[in-house]
Structure 1
Amino acid sequence: MNHHGPGRLSALWRALGYLLGSLATAAVALAALPVLVVVPRTARAWASWHRRRAERLLREPGSGPVRVGAWRVLGWLGACVVSGPAFGLVAVLCAGNAVTTAVTVPLWWALPAGTRAGGFGAGVPLTGWGTALTLGTAQFLAFAALTVWLVPLLARLHARTCVALLSPSAAARLARRVETLTESRAGAMNAHGLELRRIERDLHDGTQARLVAIAMRLGLARQVQGEDPVMLARLLEEAHESTEEAMAELRAVIRTIYPPILADRGLTGALTALGARSAIDTTLDIGGLGTIPAAVETVAYFTVSEALTNAAKHSRATRTTVRVARDGDRLSIGVADDGVGGADEALGTGIAGIRQRVLALDGTVHLHSPGGGPTTITVSLPCGS
């Protein structure tokens, strides 16, 4: 079964739509050129929209708003005004002639006598079905082949030119990368400091206070030993209970640092346990992960744990789906729910914590949560080759 036909036809339609759209937008840009030159913000917004169109055609990830200088934007405007009409008219010529031929050849007999000519514009009169079918079919096949070959080529050329002109230079990308890494490292350091203070507070206010109480009870038990057996038994029982509570609190603190289940079962087993304990129905889709650094496993575990907790607490969801897969040296994590959406990390719903952990490892986080839902959190982490 040939699976390439539908895909090639879809690509042709996308390329044709892209070039026709470029023809139309070039006309708009030409008419609005004075405004675009005078108002840089409008020009950048216009350029950003065009680059998103080009990236969608090329199936490249979106790179956000245009951040190049005004002269680069003006240079792109000039190229847009020239190449848009040129490439668009070629697409119209090729596809239009193919469609026109396909329609008119079967109806040649209904055309006025003076217009019955075919043969690639050679003016050969169409006087019968023989000439109509041979010359018309040849002309249709020629323009159809030209459309199939040339239109996607021109569309990709136009799109790549658009992306190249509206993308930052290598130096600018490096500077932006350094800035992002600096911000993420600062956020990671702040998060690390907060985490240390939280652990210290938990140990001081919880575990340490219980240990002090245990020591006091044992001291009293020593004093009443041999004098008051009932008091001794009660003090020892209280000390035993406090010891168990202190051990439980210590385990809880350790679990927030590095979940023991990761060491026992690995990431796949730990995520399976998370899904089983989730308050709402959770479907897991975990591929072959291979060997992953402990730091990445920890971030992946806490990402899924926090996302499932958010879905249960805030989204009113009834179902979540967790997908974890490895592609080369990247680990991708996706958590989606069917809740009401509207998640905002500025409101302290745990998304900010996920972002800080992920950015500390030079990963990326994307949150899609429109009002009415659904909510999807997508995380990508480097995990070595």
Structure 2
Amino acid sequence: MRERWDQVWRGGRYLLIGLPTALAAMLVVPLLAVGALSTGLGGVGLVVFPRMVASLRLWAEWQRRRAAALLGVTITPRNATLAKGVRAQWRQLLDDRENRRDLRWVLQHIVIGLAAGLGALCCVSFPVGGLVAATSWWLFPVDEPMTVLLGVPVTEWGTALGLGAVQVALGGALAWWAMPSLARWEARVSLAALEPSAEDQLAERVGELTESRAGVLDAHGAELRRIERDLHDGTQARLVAIAMRLGVAREALPDDDSGTLARLLREAHEGTEVAMTELRDVIRTMYPPILADRGLEGALASLAAGSAVPAELDLGELGRLPAAVEAAAYFIVAETLTNAAKHSGATRATVRMSRHDGRLIVEVTDDGIGGADESRGTGLVGIRRRAAALDGTVLVSSPLGGPTAITVGLPCAS
């Protein structure tokens, strides 16, 4: 019983507070319209309108907190701060989906908040009216008596007390039954208007994953460069020193010495040189040193210059790329040019690279015989796997008779 009365009290307070806010919302829409139109009047709106939208966000957040507290749910606060600079503020205004939800809530609150608030006002005023009529009927003149339930005139205490008690009881029952449900319904509708939809949540999640992936790629690239540098400057240098000492030791042995010591030194020397060769291959496949020395443009120029098929480079504005994306693009171009030299019979190839909508587009075409088939070799499969590791895409166009075009898209947004 006490818990139910607490629900009635909290629901009634929630709805009655929402009634004046719904009335105020009727002024918000024209004010926002005036603020938007004022952008063309001396540019005043360029400064004022973003602040009006930010104020609307604060108001909507207050409503979200009220609704969440009534329903007993947890919400994540939304950012209501403005960026610095007029241009940044307008970019934030146009890009933020939350602004559209705030405006949708204001329009909805005018209708639903007003109706729910008036309903709560009726639930409260009905028993209060009966109580007032039952106690103050005698203040009215006899020819114009007060009326209570169903418009019955009150002219004596018995009628006043009896009908007043009935009206108070009916009003209390109506508030007991309807007020909590009406308040919860209005709170759920408000939260639904202000919370992102499933599509918006998916888009926001994709954005978060894109940002986190960019951070992972940067960290991965930095780690690759560190390992490559350590192997190149540390391990490889020590192997070179060991090989030199072993070579000197072999030279110091008598020429005719074919004993066990000479054989062991020879095997150790040759094994060290094999290890250095394998280490260089590992370093090149991890993060090619030429990328660190010359950058992606210089590395691609070196690939084109050394290609068995004459290759032409067409590079757009690439900007800063994650190291993992640079390495993947380098290896994809290298593998594609190698495949063209081995299988296509091409006399010319073109490598185009550009950056568009947060993706690095790598396109390699040749004038060979075409007919590239992934099932007949590992070249295209390797390219596809390398791109897939970064959530990239690969399109292959290679009709019989040529030409062959391989287009790879690698995400590189930061």
Structure-1-length-normalised TM-score: 0.40
Structure showing greater radius of gyration is 2
